Amino acid sequence: MILKATEENIKKAAEVIRKGGLVAFPTETVYGLGADALNKEAVAKIFEVKQRPLIDPIIVHISKVEDLEKLAYPTELAYKLAKAFWPGPLTMVLPKKEVVPSIVTAGLDFVAIRMPAHPVALKLIEESKTFIAAPSANLFSKLSPTRAEHVYEQLGDKVDIILDGGKCDVGVESTIIDLTTEPPTILRLGGLDVEAIEKVIGEVKITKENKKIKAPGMLKKHYSPRTPLRIMKEPKPIPNLRCGLLAFKEPREGFEVVEILSRKGDLREAAANLYDSLHRLDKQNLDIIIAEAVPEVGLGRAIMDRLRKAQGL
Ligand code: TXA
Ligand code: MG
């Protein structure tokens, strides 16, 4: 059931969380599929509904920085990052405390924590008087939802309430940083660019995929539309195929359907439109989606990471 994210409905949704149910809710990055992080049966429902493997840990969402130490052992760097970027699209991995059920962390001794910037998410967490474990509200390995309707299309009525808060501003998932290594390691490129992080805490490492999979968001085939996708620097349609184009700035000739990420060539706007455009292209019965490569700076790195994973090569 999709409900508009009014104050009243957020309260209703918080009640569902408290009772062990599932609520999909907007964050500034993508929609999350939330359950009470301290209730392991509730968290188990997330895995069931998403068809997510139990080896894949889930991010815990909090509404105030003070709550960090209720769930984890934060370091000085963690507070520095929280001060600079929370609420916002940054997830930190830290040693976990006992209260966090192991199903949340897939048995790891580390928990991933984030304070989202969306007012509906913050209100929901606050009202639920607990912490909310939430992966992106899509089926495992499929495209992440940036609108309430995307959630409904994939998960339907298996979710008790879908709170509709409109389209997500950032549009790609949070950047994940592992603070248990020295220097810290970026496990997933995302909505906060690495350059901004390095300005605050100095140099970080970026994990090469498949080394040791801490985040299945690092798996090669992930974030995928159903339609095959190919990245091209100079997009050209392939003869005899129904080709859709995911363009960066401008359209090109010969494609059945064209989606433009940002007419002004702004990578932030492009990231915000990425999944939305892919969802639309995926509904057009195309043989292939040709995605134009974007510059790999700032959020362009997260965009290219998602496109490569959708390409699966
Ligand atoms: O922007 C986001 O991060 C969204 C919104 C809803 O907050 N959430 C999200 O969750 O993208 P999910 O589950 O789709 O992706 C989270 C990634 C997964 O690849 C998971 O493996 C990794 O975070 N992760 C979660 N807990 C972890 C942990 N303790 N250690 C390492 N990686 C972890
Ligand atoms: Mg996900």
Reported confidence tier of residue 312, pLDDT bands at 50, 70, 90? confident
pLDDT in the model for residue 185? 96
pLDDT above 70 for 216: no
pLDDT in the model for residue 224? 83
Ligand 1 pocket list (CB less than 6 A) = 27, 29-30, 32, 56-59, 91, 93, 105, 108, 110-112, 114, 116, 134-136, 173-174, 176, 187, 214-217
Q: Relative to the CA of 174, which ligand 1 atom is closest?
A: 1
pLDDT in the model for residue 215? 57
pLDDT above 50 for 221: yes
What average pLDDT does the segment 286-299 reach? 96
Give 96's strand partners.
72
What average pLDDT does the structure give for the chain? 94
Q: Which of 162, 176, 179, 305 to mutate to test the pocket of ligand 1 (most atoms within 8 A of CB)?
A: 176
Closest CA to 86 of 214, 172, 203, 177: 177
pLDDT in the model for residue 313? 64
Q: Which pLDDT tens digit goes with each residue over 111-139?
A: 999 999 999 999 999 999 999 999 999 99
Q: Which residue has the higher pLDDT, 241 or 55?
A: 241
Reported confidence tier of residue 54, pLDDT bands at 50, 70, 90? confident
What average pLDDT does the segment 277-287 reach? 96
Q: How far is Cα 146 from Cα 169, in angstroms, rounded to an integer?
A: 8
Q: Are strands 185-188 and 175-178 parallel, antiparallel or unpaired?
A: antiparallel
Q: How far is Cα 110 from Cα 104, in angstroms, rounded to an integer?
A: 10
pLDDT in the model for residue 210? 44
Question: Lowest-confidence range among 41-45, 53-57, 80-84, 280-284?
Answer: 53-57
pLDDT in the model for residue 211? 46
CA-angle at 118, arms to 86 and 280, nearest 5°: 120
pLDDT in the model for residue 55? 85
Q: Which of 23, 46, 91 to mutate to test the pocket of ligand 1 (most atoms within 8 A of CB)?
A: 91
Q: How far is Cα 34 from Cα 309, in angstroms, rounded to an integer?
A: 25
What average pLDDT does the segment 283-294 reach? 97
Q: Which pLDDT tens digit goes with each residue over 253-276?
A: 999 999 999 999 999 999 989 999
Q: How far is Cα 110 from Cα 101, in angstroms, rounded to an integer?
A: 11
Residue 142 gets which letter from DSSP?
Answer: B
CA dihedral 278, 196, 31, 296 (to 10 degrees): 10
Spacing, Cα 236 to ligand 2 middle (Å): 30
pLDDT in the model for residue 37? 98
Cβ atoms of 120 and 165 closer than 8 Å? yes
Q: How far is Cα 136 from Cα 159, in angstroms, rounded to an integer?
A: 13
Q: Which residue has the higher pLDDT, 293 or 224?
A: 293
Structure tokens at 99: 């209260």
Closest CA to 178 of 116, 113, 264, 131: 113
pLDDT above 90 for 75: yes
Question: Per this entry, what is the length of the chain?
Answer: 313
Query: What one-letter code names the amino acid at 36?
Result: D
What average pLDDT does the segment 157-167 reach? 97
Q: Relative to the CA of 105, which ligand 1 atom is closest?
A: 29
pLDDT above 60 for 41: yes
Write the DSSP assignment of 163-232 as a string of letters.
EE--S-SS-SPPEEEETTSSS-EEEE--SS-HHHHHHHH---EEPPTTSS-S-GGGSSS-SB-SS-EEEE
